[in-house]
Structures are given as C-alpha cells and as structure tokens.
Amino acid sequence: MPREYTPSTDCTDLTRPPIALQPVTSNQIRAVGYDHDSRTLAVSSTLGAGNVYHYPEVEPETACGFFMADSLGRHFGEHIAKLPSLKYGPELAAQA
C-alpha cells in the first residue's frame, strides 16, 4: 500500500520543548524520545540536517511499539511518518 505523499515543511520558529533524545541503532533514525505528559514523540533522522520532529498526541502504546520494533525505520515509515508533526531545525533542537 503506497504511503500518502507529505510535502516537506519549513522548520518552526518555536523553541523545541525539552524531550530528551536517546540515540538508537538504525540506518534511518538517529535518536528518539517520548514525553508521557504531553504524549509527544520526538524523532531525529539520520538523513538531512539533523532536524527533530515532534509528533503530538501519540499514545504511549504507539510509542512503545515504535521503540520495540525490529526495524525502527520501517515502523516509522508505516506508522509514524504520516502523523501530524512539528519540525525543529538543528540549531533549535540543540537548545533543548
């Protein structure tokens, strides 16, 4: 089933909320984090400039399924990438 195309978006000017990112072993995903209070999943890709994407309103079970997946990149593409997100640039991501 082909994935719906989502055009690239500009980075937000907002300061990235402080969600700690943990490095992971993946060809596509650099680091991940999750904030239980806001139910926000944070993902940094190995591709590009090091932007950090925040996916709000992600249920804990969805985040856990992502973290435990055999292939983070495949699971991300199939279940997470299509969700609404905010994109933070690398310089803004470094502030958190």
Q: For the segment 25-43, what is each residue's pLDDT rounded down to a tens digit?
A: 998 999 999 999 999 999 9
Tokens of 33: 């984090």
Instruction: Look at residue 48 in the predicted model and tell me its pLDDT.
Output: 76
Q: Which residues pair with 87 in a beta bridge?
A: 53
Name the domain count of the chain: 1
Instruction: Look at residue 34 in the predicted model and tell me its pLDDT.
Output: 97
Inside any domain, residue 55: yes
Instruction: Look at residue 95 in the predicted model and tell me its pLDDT.
Output: 42
Inside any domain, residue 59: yes
Inside any domain, residue 37: yes
Stretch 74-92: mean pLDDT: 86
* Contact criterion met (CB below 8 Å) for 96 and 18: yes
Inside any domain, residue 81: yes
CA distances from 9 to 38, 39, 60 (A): 22, 22, 26
Q: Which helix (H) or strand (E) holds 21?
A: none
Inside any domain, residue 28: yes
Give the range of the structural domain holding residue 42, as residue numbers without chain letter: 22-93
Could you tell me the pLDDT band of residue 9, with boundaries at 50, 70 and 90?
low
